[in-house]
Amino acid sequence: MAQPIKDVVTAMIQPFLDAEGFELVDVEFVKEGSNKFLRVYVDKEGGIDIDDCGRISEVLSEKLDETDPIPEAYFLEVSSPGAERPLKKLSDYERAVQKQVFVTTYEPVEGEKEFEGKLLAFDGETLVVQTPRKKTTIPYAKVASARLAIEF
């Protein structure tokens, strides 16, 4: 079976990102309407700017042209994960402790599937989220998605 595009792209760009001090947040290959998009989300301490995105896009584009792992036409986009950055890796959750988060679960936890509040703790197996109404312990295995949330 062919290796997933996400894994191929990650393997291609990770050495460059590591050497330049960037963090690969996520890679997605999605179809929107009749177009396909390869999106690469990158960050670094202090945030990334348009020049960083351009440089990463140039390097990745060259690498993709060399091996041509995606047979169909697509658009390449390199960007910051934004203010509502997704939490994908364990280290993302660890960095998000004491920050506002929005978490959804695969199945209800204490009768709910959506939690927005402060991430009080994360030990690798459970998240403790303080919402305006209560403190909830959520098993990490039940997390469907999580992201930073903007406080208003």
pTM listed for this prediction: 0.74
Residue at a domain's end among 79, 99, 119: 79
Let me know if residue 85 belongs to a domain. Answer: no
pLDDT at 88: 87
pLDDT at 109: 94
| Residue 4: both structure tokens together | 């997933």
User: Do residue 23 and residue 75 come from a single domain?
Assistant: yes
Mean pLDDT, residues 71-94: 89
pLDDT at 71: 87
Give 1's pLDDT tier (boundaries 50, 70, 90).
very low
User: Do residue 42 and residue 95 come from a single domain?
Assistant: no
User: Could you give the C-alpha distances from 67 to 13, 26, 80, 117, in angstroms and in order?
Assistant: 13, 21, 25, 44
User: Do residue 55 and residue 115 come from a single domain?
Assistant: no
Q: Give, rounded to a whole angstrom, the gap between the first and last alpha carbons of the chain.
A: 47
Q: How many domains does the chain have?
A: 2
User: Do residue 48 and residue 108 come from a single domain?
Assistant: no
The mean pLDDT of the chain is 91
- Return the amino acid letter for 2: A
Residue with tokens 């060259």: 62
Other Cβ atoms closer than 10 A to 23: 16
CA angle 64, 26, 23 (to 5 degrees): 90
- Tell me the CATH number at 63: 3.30.300.70
pLDDT at 134: 92
Q: Which domain holds residue 47?
A: 5-79
Q: What is d(CA 23, CA 106) in angstroms, rounded to the nearest whole number?
A: 27
Residue at a domain's end among 55, 79, 103: 79
| pLDDT greater than 50 at residue 17 | yes
Mean pLDDT, residues 29-58: 92
For 105-125, write each residue's pLDDT tens digit.
Answer: 999 999 999 999 999 999 999
Let me know if residue 140 belongs to a domain. Answer: yes
Give 3's pLDDT tier (boundaries 50, 70, 90).
confident
